[in-house]
Structure 1
Amino acid sequence: MKAKTVDKIATAILYLISSLVVLLLISFIGFIIYRGRTSLNFNFIFGEPKTSQAGGGIGPQLFNSFYMLIVSLIITVPFGVGAGIYLSEYATEGKILGFIRLCIETMASLPSIVVGLFGMLVFVIMTKWQNTLLSGALVIAILNLPSMTRVSENAIRASSLKVKEASLGLGATKWQAIKTVILPSSMPQILTGVILAAGRIFGEAAALLYTSGMSAPILKYSDVSLVGQTSPFSLFRPAETLAVYIWKLNSEGMVPDAAKIASGASAVLVIMVLIFNFSARFIGKKIYESYSGK
């Protein structure tokens, strides 16, 4: 009887903690959206910012955030998943593996401002690229690689326990088993790592101040180029993201309605993160179902 009572109390406490976490998240999101509700319109979301008068938009900054998200994930996901495959399926226990894990843990504990300074020295000054979107994407990739590697390694290791021996027993090679069975079955967990990486991209400001810059040039969407200064798709142009723009508005107050714009930009940023997370979950579920036959 005593054990059942303790179990019920522990269960109630866990449910209470979970409810408080959910309530805190809902309150946080609701507060931000409520403060920025007056700015959630087409002209604000897709309009150009104004430097000395009220009524500016966040169009270029929002586009820069999504474009940097795509570029950074293109760099992060292959390296992170590849490292996870190596650590879980090919690496053998020893000093080399221990050193690799130490490096991953050290990278994961580095403050973003330190990584930003490293990015400025290497990707901005040494390469002479100056403040560019590519520099920012590379710095974000460095920040995200440790977590992406660990999530991928754990997901692949857990999935391989269920299906690895069966696939090898049916005559598949090790790489065939990884490519066609283990990776698809671990897709939901790997997708969690992708979502965490995307959240870092949307919310990071400190590292991007030194690499992608604090300016958003007027973009000509008819100009398609990876190197031009006016092309929105250029990798070698300054790219102020939405998080950096919010920081600049709150710290410098360049326009009369800086607080209003910052509140609206924060609301848009939160909504975009929610949309991306739900979309990624939905797509990942469909991919998993297509491979598992559900």
Structure 2
Amino acid sequence: MSNGKGTSVPNPFEAGKGFNHLSNRLFTSVVWIIGMCTILFICGLLFLILQKGLPELDWGFLYGLPSEIDEGGGIGPLIFNSFYVLAISLVISIPLGMAAGIYLAEFAPATKFIAFIRICVEGLASVPSIIFGLFGIALFVEAFDIGLTIIGGAVSLAFLNLPVLTRVTEEAIRAVPKEMKHASFALGSTHLQTIRSVLIPVALNGIITGICLTAGRAFGESAVIILTAGVSSSGEMWDFSLFSPGATLAVHLWYVQSEAIVPDAQLIAEKAAAVLVFVVLLINIVFRLPLWLNARRTR
């Protein structure tokens, strides 16, 4: 840059250009390295779990009844209990969590009381699961005196999922551009029609992501189930009774590793762990499949 007298004036923007470029390259490289290391660690962990159990799986193990003493027991009733408890908990928690999240995002007044409620919800979302298990014992085992049952474990899991689903739904609804909401009002839609036809469809990706996280966590949860549904099953493959013992696959994995006396306890644990990881991955794929199909249709 010239000052009109033939001498050049240093450009203040040129001085830091090289340093900024170097910092950007360095930061990008660090992020790439950390990201790749994290992905490799996760893939290695999954491979370590699956490669020990998957080759040993057979239909007899997946459909067989668990054994307390003899080797060769299966996990059939435990897989059924896992899906049964998960389904009941999601049927309870998804409508309530979404309704609470929509209320906080769209209808709740901006008062100190509502701010306190949000803090409480965030706090409950980070509370250890064993606290909800103790609450389930106090409610179902002591107050209602129904013992360790499937319904007690499922409702306790629903309580565990509610704060997370509420916060995820609220944040997903708030992330929808206000212009879309105002455009819906301008076209004559009511608030209910706007929520149903605009806000929820746009926020569906974030809501389903939250449901995937809670479903995977609930399927692999053990502390709540041990305290509210017990560590044993009824011994029947398709037991739909809500008042039967409700041990799940995650509970059986813990029990085999710590308390069981069967000779092949280590092998059962490895195969059960592989099934547990595979099912959690499958749950995430099943919940996201409608989003992938909808994204392909709208391209």
TM-score after normalising by structure 2 = 0.90
What SS class does the counterpart of residue 36 from structure 1 fall into? helix
- Change in 2 beyond 3 A, CA 1:220/1:248: closer
**2:46 aligned with 1:39, yes or no?**
no
Out of 233, 236, 246, the residue aligned to residue 239 of structure 1 is 246
**2:194 aligned with 1:177, yes or no?**
yes
CA distance in 2, matches of 1:48, 1:220: 7
Within-5 A mapping of 1:114-125: 114-125=131-142
Could you tell me which residue of structure 2 aligns to residue 150 of structure 1? Answer: 167
Residue 289 (structure 1) shift: 6.4
What residue identity is the alignment partner of 2:251?
Answer: V
Percent identity between matched residues is 41
CA distance in 1, matches of 2:151, 2:296: 35
Larger CA deviation: 153-162 vs 128-137: 153-162
Residue 236 (structure 1) shift: 1.6
What SS class does the counterpart of residue 69 from structure 2 fall into? coil
**2:62 aligned with 1:53, yes or no?**
no
Could you tell me which residue of structure 1 aligns to residue 292 of structure 2? Answer: 285
- Runs of 5+ consecutive residues of structure 2 not aligned to the other structure: 1-17
What residue identity is the alignment partner of 1:78?
Answer: P
Could you tell me which residue of structure 1 aligns to residue 212 of structure 2? Answer: 195
Task: Count the aligned residue pairs.
Answer: 282
CA distance in 2, matches of 1:286, 1:123: 41
Residue 107 (structure 1) shift: 1.3
Q: Is the 8 A contact 1:39 1:261 kept in 2?
A: no
CA distance in 1, matches of 2:120, 2:159: 12
- Change in 2 beyond 3 A, CA 1:93/1:288: farther
What residue identity is the alignment partner of 2:163?
Answer: P
Could you tell me which residue of structure 2 aligns to residue 271 of structure 1? Answer: 278
Out of 151, 154, 177, the residue aligned to residue 134 of structure 1 is 151
- Runs of 5+ consecutive residues of structure 1 not aligned to the other structure: 222-231
Residue 286 (structure 1) shift: 3.2
Residue 246 (structure 1) shift: 0.4
Superposed CA RMSD in Å reads: 1.5
TM-score after normalising by structure 1 = 0.92
Could you tell me which residue of structure 2 aligns to residue 165 of structure 1? Answer: 182
CA distance in 1, matches of 2:127, 2:180: 36
CA distance in 1, matches of 2:246, 2:201: 35
What residue identity is the alignment partner of 2:192?
Answer: W
**2:224 aligned with 1:207, yes or no?**
yes
CA distance in 2, matches of 1:262, 1:166: 56
What SS class does the counterpart of residue 104 from structure 1 fall into? helix
Q: Is the 8 A contact 1:156 1:182 kept in 2?
A: yes
Could you tell me which residue of structure 1 aligns to residue 233 of structure 2? Answer: 216
Residue 140 (structure 1) shift: 1.0
What SS class does the counterpart of residue 159 from structure 1 fall into? coil
Residue 111 (structure 1) shift: 1.6
CA distance in 2, matches of 1:140, 1:13: 39
Could you tell me which residue of structure 1 aligns to residue 264 of structure 2? Answer: 257
Find the structure with the greater CA-based Rg. 2
- Change in 2 beyond 3 A, CA 1:261/1:220: closer
CA distance in 1, matches of 2:262, 2:109: 58
Out of 60, 68, 71, the residue aligned to residue 88 of structure 2 is 71
Residue 44 (structure 1) shift: 0.9
What SS class does the counterpart of residue 176 from structure 2 fall into? helix
Residue 253 (structure 1) shift: 2.6
Could you tell me which residue of structure 1 aligns to residue 14 of structure 2? Answer: none
